[in-house]
Amino acid sequence: MSSPESLRFTGHRSFTWRLVLATLTGRPVHISKIRSSSPTNPGLAPHEISFLRLLEAVTNGSTMQISYTGTTVTYHPGLITGTIAGFGASEDEVIEHNIPANNTRGVTYFLMPICLLAPFSKAHMNVRFSGPGVITSATQKGDMSVDSFRTAVLPLFGLFGIPPARIELRLLQRSCPGKGGRGGGGIVELRFASQVRLPKTLHLNRNPGRIKRIRGVAYSTGVSASNNGRMIYAAREVLNPLSSDIHVAAQYDQAPLVSNPDKTKTRTGIGFGLSLVAESSSAGVIYSADVVAPPTGGVVPEDIGKQCAYQLLENIAQGGCVSRTSAGTVLTLMAMGSEDMGRLRIGRDVIGTEEVVGLARDLKAFGASSWGLRDVDEDDSGDIIVSVKGAGVGNIGRKVA
Amino acid sequence: MASVLGKRKSRNTELSISEEEAQAIFRRHFEAQFKPLPEQPKSNPQIADDDLATDTDESDDSEWGGISDEDDGDGSSEQSVEVIDHTSSNTHDPTVSMSKRELKAFMSSRPPSTDTTPSSVPAPAEPPSDPEDEDERTLRAQDLALQRLLSESHLLASLTPGSVHSTAAAHKPFAAGRLRHKTTDLRIQSLAGADSIYDQKKMPMAMRKRILATRQARDDKRRREAKENGIILEHPSSINKNKKTLAPARPRRDQAVDAPAVGRLKGAQLRLSERDVRAIEGSGGRDSVGRVGPGRAGAGKRGRR
């Protein structure tokens, strides 16, 4: 089997997207100059190493080489197998993935790419994230919380013919970022049982509609449960005049108990945060917002609630049918879909972000067709309709089986 | 009690006899001579002591009760209209925002299902009957329709006036209704495997044999002609099974429940035939003929039900 020429990238930006695209298209990648200019922390960060381990667990035959300093990675993708008994899966058919304590990213950093791979895997994708580094809340680094991921991103898979009813995301233990934003101690289990041959073509170019309802989760972990009520109260003060159907659930949990290397046990991951999700009257249009208290503390819950409400309003104001957090997932699934033109209405401020432009360039480098952009002329919203041609890659494991 | 005391007092002092008592005396006198008077609303005995108040009260009560309400409304004047302000957020209790079921569905491990998604998404995606579409579902539906048409075509043929198979029944009134009943009967037969309700249960054997033979002959002829003309007919098995014209492939013998798994029990004696012995011995390796023991044993042995 002749391996094709590997694609060359530089920098640590969109590390997971590049690896996911490499796995989906089967092209090897070579990423160099990863934080090579940093004198203190050169090379791959702990969460990136952990993600490479996870990729190795859910694929078969993938190889990766990391240079001595960690600034260069070569990745040869294998087949996406998912959870197959006897290949690293435990007795209840779950791949256990441990995240080290020095991880600073939320668990959605891992969940997002895994959910992109899962529809194309050969078997079900069952992964349990555990260990002293799992942060289920939102983080200051910009990861969304698990609640937002479940309520705002996973329903979007239904638009591609990937039934969300067969996706399960169990939050067995909540956790906020620990001391210095490092580590958590949460437990999250993803069971992704809806594998498809090829995602359907998406046509989401209609009017995004008006906000029908707002839902949300306020979570306090290891701090007073009254914070939930205060966050909800502050958020409702902003949102109540705008929408009549607002429901925010309150969730209080004990802080997770994490065992240290020296056999002692401490409670970490204390904090609180709010996740808000707005559903539009148009099917499949969901906006979300996430704000969490910083690990240093010193913030009152009213501020968090108000900030989150304003962030949600800002995301709604950006318009389009996808928000900034879910745009990458939707666009990638469109690019991997059937060989047909899919259309997506997207806000001008959303497509102008660094991530989306970077994703477009990466997709082009991986051999996908370029996107076509045109202005929406039905109304004066200033949105842009992106036409994405599917690569027709589909599920190789399904093709054989 | 006060009124009673008052009465006693008034009785002692005859001059100050109350208006009410005087009325009562007159009334008693009147009723003794004539018929009983209709009952009058009794005024409050406590107010009755006060002469002036009694006057006004009685007149008020008898005419319209509204004013007396307003009179003693002085006591309940603080009962004002309740004002509920829906515009401010203070009235909302943040903790009881979602119903229990909704909360459970929202906080479950599955992604929340949006009510609109299932109802609105399939509608444009699935045009229900597009015969050109070579989808698996439409193909299956077409196949089912074709099989139905084939299996029921002989009913249609007998009722078509110009056809060769047309019978006298076709010209009778309400023949279409009969056709519908027969079609329904056929479908029920194919679904439930039951006998047709149009079969007559009791009839002379010669007649039954003749009917069956005629039906068989007609069917054979129909199939032969169809074959000659290259017409595809339905699968013959479904008809023959229901008619019970063919014997089952392997008649099932009735076994006693307590029959032994090996050999034959006669009296109190278990008799093993040579075949049984071979089957038992051959379970490990090969028997004398060279076949594998267990398979042979399983094949040769009558199965216990």
Q: Are residues A385 and A349 in the same domain?
A: yes
Q: Is residue A397 part of a domain?
A: no
| Per-residue pLDDT at B169 | 59
Kindly state the tokens that stand for A150.
């479940």
Does the ipTM surpass 0.90?
A: no
Number of C-alpha atoms within 13 angstroms, CB side, residue A339? 4
Q: Is residue A68 part of a domain?
A: no
Q: Are residues A312 and A227 in the same domain?
A: yes
Pick from A217, A240, A284: CB nearest B89? A240
Q: Is residue A328 part of a domain?
A: yes
Pick from A159, A236, A251: CB nearest B92? A236
**Containing domain of residue B207, as a range?**
203-230
- Residue with the two structure tokens 């259309």: A343
Per the prediction, chain A carries an average pLDDT of 91
Q: Are residues B187 and B140 in the same domain?
A: yes
Cα dihedral A333, A339, A345, A347 sign: positive
List C-alpha distances in Å: B293 to A86, B278, B282, B305. 35, 8, 4, 22
Q: Is residue B198 part of a domain?
A: no
Q: Is residue A184 within 8 Å of residue A132, measured between CB atoms?
A: yes
Q: Which of A287, A317, A347 is the last residue of a domain?
A: A317
- Give the orientation angle of helix A46-58 with respect to helix A108-117, to 10 degrees: 30
Q: Are residues A258 and A286 in the same domain?
A: yes
Helix (H, G, I), strand (E, B) or coil at B66: helix
CA B302 distance to own-chain centroid: 45
Higher model confidence: residue A221 or residue B299?
A221
- Residue with the two structure tokens 């065992």: A259
Q: Are residues B148 and B187 in the same domain?
A: yes
Q: Is residue B261 within 8 Å of residue B297, measured between CB atoms?
A: no
Indicate yes or no: CB of A170 within 8 angstroms of CB of B109: yes
| Per-residue pLDDT at B271 | 86
Q: Are residues B186 and B222 in the same domain?
A: no
Q: Are residues A302 and A358 in the same domain?
A: no
Q: Is residue B154 part of a domain?
A: yes
| Per-residue pLDDT at B164 | 55
Spatial CA neighbour of A9 closest among A77, A72, A76, A65: A72
* A320 backbone dihedrals φ, ψ, rounded to 5°: 80, 175
pLDDT band with cut points at 50, 70 and 90 for residue B142: confident
Q: Is residue A292 part of a domain?
A: yes
Q: How many CB pairs under 8 A join A and B?
A: 73
Q: Are residues A215 and A286 in the same domain?
A: yes
- pLDDT exceeds 90 at position B172: no
Q: Is residue B214 part of a domain?
A: yes
Q: Which of A317, A350, A367 is the last residue of a domain?
A: A317
Tens digit of each residue's pLDDT (9 = 90 or more) over A96-107: 999 999 999 999
Q: Is residue A238 part of a domain?
A: yes
Average pLDDT over residues A267-289: 93
Q: Are residues B144 and B179 in the same domain?
A: yes
| Percent above pLDDT 70 for chain A | 97
Residue burial B44-69, b: 16+ Cβ < 10 Å; e: rest: eeeebbeeeebeebbebeeeeeeeee
Q: Are residues A256 and A328 in the same domain?
A: no
Q: Is residue B89 part of a domain?
A: no
| Per-residue pLDDT at B240 | 46
List C-alpha distances in Å: B174 to B169, B184, B198. 10, 16, 17
Average pLDDT over residues A112-116: 95
pLDDT band with cut points at 50, 70 and 90 for residue B288: very low
Q: Is residue A278 part of a domain?
A: yes
Higher model confidence: residue B67 or residue A86?
A86
Average pLDDT over residues B102-117: 75
Higher model confidence: residue B153 or residue A318?
A318
Q: Are residues A228 and A264 in the same domain?
A: yes
Kindly state the tokens that stand for B164.
């060769």
Q: Is residue B240 part of a domain?
A: no
| Per-residue pLDDT at A187 | 95
Q: Is residue B161 part of a domain?
A: yes
End-to-end alpha carbon distance in chain A: 20
Indicate yes or no: CB of A169 within 8 angstroms of CB of B94: no
Q: Are residues B140 and B175 in the same domain?
A: yes
Number of domains observed in the structure of chain B? 2
Q: A interface mutation test: which of B86, B115, B116 has the most A CBs within 10 A?
A: B116
pLDDT band with cut points at 50, 70 and 90 for residue B2: very low
- pLDDT exceeds 90 at position A365: yes
| Per-residue pLDDT at B200 | 78
**Containing domain of residue A356, as a range?**
322-389
Q: Which of A325-339, B2-16, B67-81, B97-111 has the highest mean pLDDT?
A: A325-339
Average pLDDT over residues A343-368: 93
Tens digit of each residue's pLDDT (9 = 90 or more) over A39-58: 998 999 999 999 999 999 99
Which residues neighbour B211 within 8 Å (Cβ) at sequence distance 6 or greater?
none
| Per-residue pLDDT at A375 | 92
Q: How many residues does chain A have?
A: 401
- Residue with the two structure tokens 């494991």: A397
Q: Which of A317, A344, A373 is the last residue of a domain?
A: A317
Q: Is residue A345 within 8 Å of residue A206, measured between CB atoms?
A: yes
Kindly state the tokens that stand for A259.
């065992």
Q: Is residue A60 within 8 Å of residue A88, measured between CB atoms?
A: no
Pick from A168, A246, A249: CB nearest B107? A249
- pLDDT exceeds 60 at position B24: yes
Q: Is residue A294 part of a domain?
A: yes
User: Biggest alpha carbon distance in chain A?
Assistant: 64
Q: Is residue A394 part of a domain?
A: no
Number of domains observed in the structure of chain A? 2
| CATH code, A260 | 3.30.360.20
What is the CB neighbour count within 10 angstroms for residue B243? Answer: 15
Q: Are residues A363 and A287 in the same domain?
A: no
Higher model confidence: residue A379 or residue B49?
A379
Q: Identify all chain B residues contacting A217, using CB atoms and an 8 Å cutoff.
A: 106-107
- Which of B144-148, B204-208, B221-225, B230-234 has the weakest average pLDDT? B230-234
Q: Is residue B92 part of a domain?
A: no
* Calpha distance B206→A26 (Å, rounded): 77
* A73 backbone dihedrals φ, ψ, rounded to 5°: -130, 135
DSSP class of B196: P
Higher model confidence: residue B282 or residue B120?
B282
Burial class for B15, CB neighbours closer than 10 Å (0-12, 13-18, 19+): exposed
Q: Are residues A270 and A310 in the same domain?
A: yes
> Nearest chain A Cα to B119, which residue?
A283
> Phi-psi bin for A2: left (phi > 0), alpha (psi -120 to 50), beta?
beta
- pLDDT exceeds 50 at position B124: no
